[in-house]
Structure 1
């Protein structure tokens, strides 16, 4: 399954829904679809933009598998509507990283202003806090003492202050990293010797608890 599967599929569904019916398809083909089609196309473009970011992150993370990481994309917790863009199991088998990809405006820097994460003039702190919430729920679902679940927000486009920083949110702390620091920071965070058996067991637990997004919805 492509990392961008659910987001890209949603973009396609939005465009198709606005053109449902022969007459609407004909009008859209003539450029006369009206406000409904324009609104759907604009929202679909945002979803497609996010899907492209998720796919870029998947390519960025792929080399980690050669270092013993187990990498998954586009998962969900049963009974929850949100998707988990990326879930990684460390090669030591003692940590799970819950990653969320954002594609933010290139001309606006991402930084902390008065304790809140902002991208240019936009407050993005609530989006960052959501990642901490996702990680907490994943940790509760895994129910494995001794396993850390780390929230990570990966920013494409927007330059991140210092390449990356740790944001303090109500649910804890979240790594906010630009793409150039993602792999080095993950690799550098592993301070325990690799344990392939323990990592594989933790990956199996992740696969048992989480499911591909779209299944069982």
Structure 2
């Protein structure tokens, strides 16, 4: 008899990976230097130790050959010459590895601010979606995409087969600027900025995820901080919604009875919490 292991939903924290990246940037760079070839001069005691064998050998030769006291006295200049040679000749060795720390640059601190702002947006989105859990929904946050170095901000799985992937954005408000689709809903702009690449990135992540989700989820982008041109927008078939409209939009999302009953547990098993 084959027993299928019970799949439990692992704890998940919105914005966790963004917080970790911000902390890494603020901490700067820490590392260890590689050992290097170095040359050092001998100390006097070391030089004497090098010269002593030469002197001793000469004395033994002079004594054994009975060369006389005068030749034995040559041990003094021999020792002096050997000492001087040892003093001039450097000794090769290896340096000790050292730990170094490079403080964060101004660009690193700006990037950390952006990551923290993104984490705040994900946390705000989860606070909006959290009431759905009492209605039978499963909300998964900050989940890795199998086989890819990427993550999904939120996956919402409803009790009637609803399946959505929600991408959180937290953009700074710009006076007079609104998020709006242009060029027949083929591009997304915010003031003078073209944000279409963010929409395409979400579509790519959904393409990577569809097989493991056993279906194609509805792509949703919720934008915090920046006003929208209308209550519901679309760009490249991605729904663009404001935080105020997000909860009602998710509740009214497409139902699919064909989805398996343990869809939430299956997705939670396949899409584990993101690890850097």
Partner of 1:43: 111
Change (3 A) 1:37 1:63: same
Mapped contact 2:206–2:216 kept (Cα < 8 A) = no
d(CA) in 1 for partners of 2:31, 2:121: 28
Partner of 1:106: 173
Q: Which of 208, 212, 215 is the equivalent residue of 1:137? A: 208
- How far did residue 191 of structure 1 move? 5.1
d(CA) in 2 for partners of 1:178, 1:126: 19
Q: Provide structure 1 residue ranges, at least 5 long, that are not aligned to the other structure.
A: 26-32
TM-score, length of structure 1 as denominator length:
0.81
Change (3 A) 1:148 1:37: closer
Q: Which of 129, 141, 144 is the equivalent residue of 1:73? A: 141
RMSD (Å) for aligned C-alpha atoms: 2.5
Report how many aligned residue pairs link the two structures.
195
- Which runs of structure 2 are paired with 1:66-215 in the superposition (5 Å)? 66-93=134-161, 95-107=162-174, 108-114=177-183, 115-142=186-213, 144=214, 147-168=215-236, 173-190=237-254, 198-199=260-261, 201-214=262-275
- How far did residue 189 of structure 1 move? 2.1
d(CA) in 1 for partners of 2:117, 2:30: 21
Mapped contact 1:92–1:198 kept (Cα < 8 A) = no
Q: Which of 16, 36, 45 is the equivalent residue of 1:5? A: 16
Change (3 A) 1:106 1:209: same
- How far did residue 186 of structure 1 move? 1.1
- How far did residue 17 of structure 1 move? 2.2
Change (3 A) 1:23 1:52: same
Mapped contact 1:18–1:40 kept (Cα < 8 A) = no
Change (3 A) 1:45 1:198: same
TM-score, length of structure 2 as denominator length:
0.64
